[in-house]
Structure 1
Amino acid sequence: MKKDQPQRQGVVYSTNSDFSYQTNEPTEATTLPPQQQQLRVQLDKKQRGGKQVTLITGFVGREEDLQTLGKLLKTKCGVGGSAKDGEVVIQGDFRAKVLEILLKEGYKAKQIGG
């Protein structure tokens, strides 16, 4: 089979004119608009050698959009961090500042824990 053709699953031939093949290609998740995001901001110290980080969870969308949000937060706070697997980690205790930035950008966000 050619490399540019999608891998078809299960059906070799169909006489139905309305039939569409299912492929192995993953569907890309769409990013919810900021007004529909339910973000949670919390302080986390577990498994980090006693260091405090601000953890933002609950992001639904593409990895590129998560990276963009993480870069915005890291730039505004002036610290390092990472963004992967639907969560953003900001080094240090910046819960109030991160919450203010998220609300200003139009996200639904709330602080949980302490």
Structure 2
Amino acid sequence: MGLVYSTEKGRLCPDCGEAVCVCKNNPVRPLGDGVVRVGRETKGRKGAGVTTISGLPLDDTALAGVCTQLKKRCGTGGTVKDGIIEIQGDHRDRIVAELTTQGYRVKRVGG
């Protein structure tokens, strides 16, 4: 077992040994309240809207799988950024229905 704490740097990452993790093998995502939120955003996209899905309690690999499934269901493109799935276009109703059938508690947010 390696160095865990240093008086000079504080708590260290167990994988890379740095105070600020550079290996990013252990992304720390805050635990949510158990509700998946589905909304729509246009900010910073020159008016083009995307449907955002946040609050899914999954790791990055599982989020990518859910994103692929939702993209196929909606017939459009999308991506995962910082733990938030973005699907191109306004598909809130379809995504809420799909995630509800998968057993998640889903809430529509925004207008």
If the TM-score is normalised by the length of the shorter chain, which range does it land in? 0.7 to 0.9
> Higher strand proportion, which one?
2
Normalised by the size of structure 1, how large is the TM-score?
0.71
Higher-RCO chain (CA-CA 8 Å, sequence separation at least 6): 1
User: How far 1:83 sits from its partner (Å)?
Assistant: 1.2
User: How far 1:91 sits from its partner (Å)?
Assistant: 0.3
**Structure 2 counterpart SS, 1:43:** strand
5+ residue gaps, structure 1: 1-5, 12-21
What stretches of structure 1 move > 6 A for 4+ residues in a row? none
2:72 maps to which of 67, 72, 75: 75
User: How far 1:24 sits from its partner (Å)?
Assistant: 1.8
Considering only aligned residues, what root-mean-square deviation do their CA atoms show, in Å?
A: 2.6
Normalised by the size of structure 2, how large is the TM-score?
0.72
8 Å Cα contact 1:67/1:84 also seen in 2: no
User: How far 1:23 sits from its partner (Å)?
Assistant: 6.2
Q: What residue is the counterpart of 2:36 in the other structure?
A: 39
5+ residue gaps, structure 2: 7-11, 16-24
* Matches of 1:77 and 1:90, distance apart in 2: 8
Q: What residue is the counterpart of 1:58 in the other structure?
A: 55
- In the comparison of the two structures, how many residue pairs are matched? 95
1:9 maps to which of 4, 8, 29: 4
The amino acid across from 2:55 in the alignment is G
Identity %: 33
